[in-house]
Amino acid sequence: MTFVRACGLGELEENTPKRVELDGTPVSVVKTEGEVFAINDICSHANVSLSEGEVEDCQIECWLHGSAFDLRTGKPSGLPATRPVPVYPVKIDGDDVLVSLSQES
């Protein structure tokens, strides 16, 4: 599994998603509840950036139609989205947040 640096840990604010691009893939990096998560930044319902949505209860909410995706599994909690969004493994190395795109779950 190859990890690449997504951003610095110090750049993340609690519950404020940060959009990064890794190998051409838009990824939203989220620090919440003492953990850091990485989820594909595009909603599975339409081509909308999830990082512009709100984070609550370990979910990121799509600002357009309100489906919320679990940051651990990528699964939507409700309609209109029905398909999960890919989530990626995260590793913290000092002040670096590392994300692996190779193993999607």
Binding-site ranges for ligand FES (CB under 6 A): 43, 45-46, 48, 62, 64-65, 67, 80-81
Q: Do β-strands 55-56 and 59-61 pair in parallel, antiparallel, or remain unpaired?
A: antiparallel
Q: Output the smallest distance, CB 79 to ligand FES, in A.
A: 8
The one-letter amino acid at 5: R
Q: Which is nearer to ligand FES, 62 or 87 (CB)?
A: 62
CA distance 23 to 31: 21
Q: Which is nearer to ligand FES, 25 or 49 (CB)?
A: 49
Whole-number Å distance between alpha carbons of 2 and 70: 23
Q: How far is the CB of 59 from ligand FES (least distance, A)?
A: 12
How many Å apart are CA 15 and CA 17, to the nearest integer? 6
Nearer to ligand FES, 58 or 64 (CB): 64
